[in-house]
Amino acid sequence: MLEPSIRQETRHRGLTLIVAATAHDAALTAARIIQGIVNEADRRHVKATLGLATGKTPQAIYAELVRAHRDERISFRHVVTYNLDEYYPISPRDPLSYRTYMHRHLFAQVDLPPESAHVLDGSVPPAFADEACQFFDRWIDADGGLDLQLLGIGRNGHIGFNEPEPHRSVAEFAALPSRKVTLDVVTRADAAADFGGNLDAVPKYALTVGPRVILAARRIVMVALGSSKARIVARALTEDPTTEVPASLLQLPEVAPRVTWILDPDAASLLPDLT
């Protein structure tokens, strides 16, 4: 098992900040944290509840978990997963749905029981969209909350599909439940490439797990890779918590001790020297 190469590990505003040597090392660092939780659950025969993310960033993390399952026999039989978000409306069977993404990158390649993998259903009728999200929150609560939440950051600072909402206070935003949201123009523009470059084909809405559940996770691992994230990473880590940059809420004093940011050098390139 390859150990990731770490360039810098510091405490910053109460959270842990790791700059890995490369994007691959950043993915390995995140994968090792997840593997630790999965292995511990398997050893003790207890449930591990993981909040999972989609997008480009987690792909190498899932590839490493799949490799570890294959080569080192780590088992997901005690794991329960809850995905962060899903486009709305979209069929779970749509090749571009996050359900399909998760099936392709992880679920179909490990021994996770199919009934333990939860993704918000982008095909519920509009009148039930918020209710379906409320059920998701209740399932997560009934499972005892999340042992780990894996996060990526959007170029506008979103976590899940919790887009910036500058009109809300930090306290109000942090308490938001899972719900149907309208996607930000930045988010839709960034997603257009996946939809054949056609902005009109990108769903206008999404279902997202809310900050209340995300910020309550017992461990939160945020991974950001590449120079396109450098500016927003610097804002999220150096500005005081603001609903203009939802990821900045990871600095909240009651949250930060449970948070690890994992960056590659490009994503860290606009951070002031934090040592």
- Answer for which of 153, 202, 233, 263 binds ligand PGA (CB under 6 A) is 153
| Per CB under 6 A, 208 contacts ligand PGA | no
* Least distance between ligand PGA and beta carbon 55 (Å): 3
Rg of the chain over Cα atoms, rounded to whole angstroms, equals 17
Give catalytic status of residue 85 as yes or no. Answer: yes
Amino acid at 189: A
Distance CA 213, CA 219 (A): 12
Give catalytic status of residue 103 as yes or no. Answer: no
Piece of the chain touching ligand PGA by CB under 6 A; list 128-136, 146-154, 171-179, 234-242: 146-154
Tokens describing residue 109: 């390649």
Give catalytic status of residue 158 as yes or no. Answer: yes
Residue 132 phi/psi, 5-degree rounding, is: -60, -40
| Per CB under 6 A, 152 contacts ligand PGA | yes
* Least distance between ligand PGA and beta carbon 272 (Å): 23
Residue with tokens 């996607």: 183
State which residue, 85 or 121, has the beta carbon closest to ligand PGA: 85
Tokens describing residue 110: 């490990």
- In the set 64, 158, 184, 190, the catalytic residue is 158
Give the E-state strand segments of the chain in sequence order: 6-12, 15-20, 48-52, 79-83, 85-88, 117-118, 148-151, 179-182, 205-208, 220-224, 259-263
Residue nearest to ligand PGA (CB): 55
Strands 85-88 and 205-208: antiparallel
Give catalytic status of residue 39 as yes or no. Answer: no
- In the set 147, 163, 184, 190, the catalytic residue is 163
- In the set 78, 83, 121, 156, the catalytic residue is 156
| Per CB under 6 A, 55 contacts ligand PGA | yes
State which residue, 58 or 241, has the beta carbon closest to ligand PGA: 58
* Least distance between ligand PGA and beta carbon 233 (Å): 11
Piece of the chain touching ligand PGA by CB under 6 A; list 14-22, 50-58, 71-79, 251-259: 50-58
- In the set 85, 86, 121, 147, the catalytic residue is 85
Distance CA 35, CA 68 (A): 8
Instruction: Mark 46-85 as b/e (b = at least 16 C-beta within 10 Å).
Output: eebbbbbbbbebbebbbbbbbebbeeeebbbebbbbbbbb
| Per CB under 6 A, 56 contacts ligand PGA | yes
Enumerate binding residues for ligand PGA (CB under 6 A). Answer: 55-57, 152-154
User: Annotated active-site positions, please?
Assistant: 85, 156, 158, 163
